[in-house]
Chain A
Amino acid sequence: MNTKERILAAVLANQPPASPLPNIDSFKGTDQDLISTYSDVFTTIGGSVFVVKSLAEVEGLIQETFDCTRRIITTLPELRDVSDRIELYSAEVMPHSFEDIELAVLEAELAVAENGAVWLTEQRMGQRIIPYICQHLAVVVPAERIVPTLHEAYEKIGVGDYGFGAFIGGPSKTADIEQALVLGAHGPISMTVFILESEASSTTSYPGE
């Protein structure tokens, strides 16, 4: 027998009698006050939230908040005035070439009110490394894509056609030195979420959705 067969044989011999899976379909949150709940939670985590009516407003806020003389990239074509649009799915580019990004502006597939996290697939990241390597991360999420809890989020995600996907819930952080909270451990030092309230949401289409 090889290792795999030996492990599986030992597991089969030792595992206890069948124990049924519980029904978890009753777990769900409330649809009320999703924007304010999301904003409260995300602000408490250490992120910033802006409720906006248009991407033009997002553009203005970016110009006010960030150093636009440095490299800013986005997957949203509407934001080309403030940033270089990177090619979606630009897998040909070395991930290391994004090391000098000051700000990345991405669009989330959904956001979770209860924990402040946004869900991004690699298609929406452009490259897997981008939301981690940038100094600051900004995410646009249409208001109607905020769900109450992770249960609704996973229901919407389904199996999902992605090679990599992630919930990101705030700026990178550590409290490893005497439990003192420091924002910006290895990933972004800040995270800003723009909640887009209106029908004028992005027209970008993402492969696989």
Chain B
Amino acid sequence: MEKTIKDHSALAEEFIRDEERVNWHDGALWWIRQKRDMAAKNIPEWEALREAASQIKNNVLSNLHDYLLEFEANATKNGITVHWAADAQEHNAIVYSILKEKGLNQLVKSKSMLTEECHLNEYLIERGVDVINSDLGEYIQQLDNEPPSHIVLPCIHKRKEEIGDIFHEHLGTEKGVSDPTTLTRFARRHLRNVFVTRRAALTGVNFAVAETGEYVVCTNEGNADMGAHLSEVQISSMGIEKIIPKKKHLGVFLRLLARSATGQPITIYSSHFKKPRKGQEMHLVLVDFGRSRQLGRPDFRSSLKCIRCGACMNTCPVYRKSGGLSYHNTISGPIGAILAPNLDMRKHADLPFASTLCGSCSNVCPVKINIHEQLYQWRQVIVQEGYAANTKVLGIKAMAWTLSSPASYARIGRAGRWVLNNIPFAVNNKFNLWYKQREMPGGPKESFGEWYAKNGPKEDEKQE
């Protein structure tokens, strides 16, 4: 298979070269998973809430057409201008046209994975619009010219010394300063000036309520609100799957979201935007970008239930040890690996294989998406469609042939044991992927089959 970009295992290999960093990254994310567990255990009805959230989202998917129309009608009644975008290009063009009409060439943006997916920043910058990401983690990633590595914790893979260096290079802080409080305070002062001077702000959307036409944006930093409430033009971008039917359903989702994400009882800010402020314009862009296609895939549509908490990443042994950037997709980790193949199966053919299928992701998912089962199902689709790497296809074929014939299985087993015991250098070399970062074991003297033939019950002792 031809690849113009490095795949997950090649990128992961770069990440794991620094063992100390991998162990730190692994531990930092596992600690967040543990905080999630503690928060969940404080809610006796936690499992019932997950089930309710899952059922509400199932209902949303089954009635999305009508909910979208209901939401649009109510939002319009509230004075919000609603736009529809089929893909990234159309989304970006809409945002640009809104700014252009107002003669604005500066935008402050709070966290929105959708606009990352659409590569909005690049699009606007090419057209002379200055975009600043205001979420601290995203701001750091933007300064460093890297995409976010985690949907909730965009720069979780960076050490504070690296962030200190980035601040020194781009913002002129003193060299060697890496104290998180000092750096955060510096960014606070710098970005306050940005908020106060920007006339246009863009936010993401966590939940959009069909019943009332309002939408909810959750942050801890307050950056979405600082941008929105100081702006003359507020734009919000949302995937069409973010709809929920009724306002009371927010009670279920807001109890689950932050606890699943970071173990907090609720994000510091849960802002309900319903109408523009006097003198302000509010625009909302409803974006499809592959979602209606995913809705038509029965095995994979439930991935659209995702509320972007990141719990599946924090718990995933592969994510924790390979880093979010190794997934070469805006949404990384297990959920990213089941969303991405829908967008571009060839480019993302490697991602469903970047998993041990341990199932931990499905166990922590607040909306009960069967993530690990979908990873397994995507592998089959990818092989059937001819997108799997040749080595994988050949390996699986050889394995199928070996296991389907007891005689060849026994023969190859004997050959393997002989190689391990007599010429180990034949497998202990760089051509054997299993040898990387591992020692090959010595071969057993005999197989279980051979041992059993010698030590098992003799023919005449066998019971009928």
Contacts and interface: CB of A to CB of B under 8 A. Distances in A.
Interface in B223-261: 223, 225-226, 228-230, 240, 245, 247-252, 254-255
B49 interface: yes
Given A95-B277, A117-B265, 10 more contacts: A7-B240, A15-B64, A16-B295, A18-B59, A99-B196, A167-B266, A169-B268, A185-B184, A185-B221, A187-B225
B317 interface: no
A92 B278 CA distance: 8
Which 9 residue pairs spanning A and B have beta carbons closest together?
A187-B222, A14-B296, A163-B275, A185-B221, A176-B137, A115-B265, A10-B292, A180-B180, A129-B229
A142 interface: no
A14 B159 contact: no
Contacts of B272: 162, 164-166
B173 interface: no
Contact of A172 (B28, B229, B268): B268
A11 interface: yes
B165 interface: no
Among A19, A122, A155, the one with the most B-chain Cβ atoms within 10 Å of its Cβ is A19
B220 A174 contact: yes
Contacts of B28: 178-179
Among B49, B163, B251, B301, the one with the most A-chain Cβ atoms within 10 Å of its Cβ is B251
B180 A117 contact: no
14 contacts: A15-B295, A24-B252, A95-B230, A129-B229, A133-B229, A151-B251, A164-B272, A172-B220, A176-B140, A177-B140, A178-B159, A180-B180, A186-B221, A186-B226
Given A22-B56, A164-B275, A169 B265 contact: yes
Contact of A22 (B51, B163, B271): B51
B171 interface: no
Where chain A touches its partner, the secondary structure class is: loop
A133 B65 CA distance: 39
A24 B48 CA distance: 10
Contact of A187 (B62, B245, B269, B286): B269
Contacts of A173: 220-221, 268
Interface stretch (B2-10, B82-90, B352-360, B373-381): B82-90
Nearest to B277: A128
Contacts of A153: 251
B252 A187 contact: no
B196 A96 contact: yes
B41 interface: no
Contact of B48 (A6, A27, A96, A166): A27
A150 B59 contact: no
B159 A174 contact: no
B66 to A, nearest CB: 9
B90 A3 contact: yes
A163 B248 contact: no
A164 B268 contact: no
B222 to A, nearest CB: 3
B181 interface: yes
A7 B245 CA distance: 19
Interface in A47-101: 91-92, 95-96, 99
Nearest to A96: B196
Interface residues of B, number: 93
Contacts of A13: 296
A27 B45 CA distance: 8
A200 interface: no
B266 A132 contact: no
Interface string B49-65: 10110011011011111
Interface stretch (B95-103, B148-156, B432-440): B148-156
A30 B288 CA distance: 41
Interface string B130-163: 0000111100100000000000011110111001
Nearest to A18: B62
A11 B226 contact: no
A49 to B, nearest CB: 15
A91 B277 contact: yes
A22 B180 contact: no
A27 B220 contact: no
Given A12-B65, A21-B55, A150-B254, A91 B278 contact: yes
Interface string A119-163: 000100001110011000000000000000111011101010011
A2 B86 CA distance: 10
A187 B221 contact: yes
A3 B86 contact: yes
A16 to B, nearest CB: 5
Interface string A18-39: 1111101001000000000000
A21 B245 contact: yes
Interface in B11-31: 28, 31
Given A132-B229, A178-B159, A24 B61 contact: no
B136 A176 contact: yes
A96 B183 CA distance: 25
Contacts of B137: 174, 176
Contacts of A18: 59, 62-63
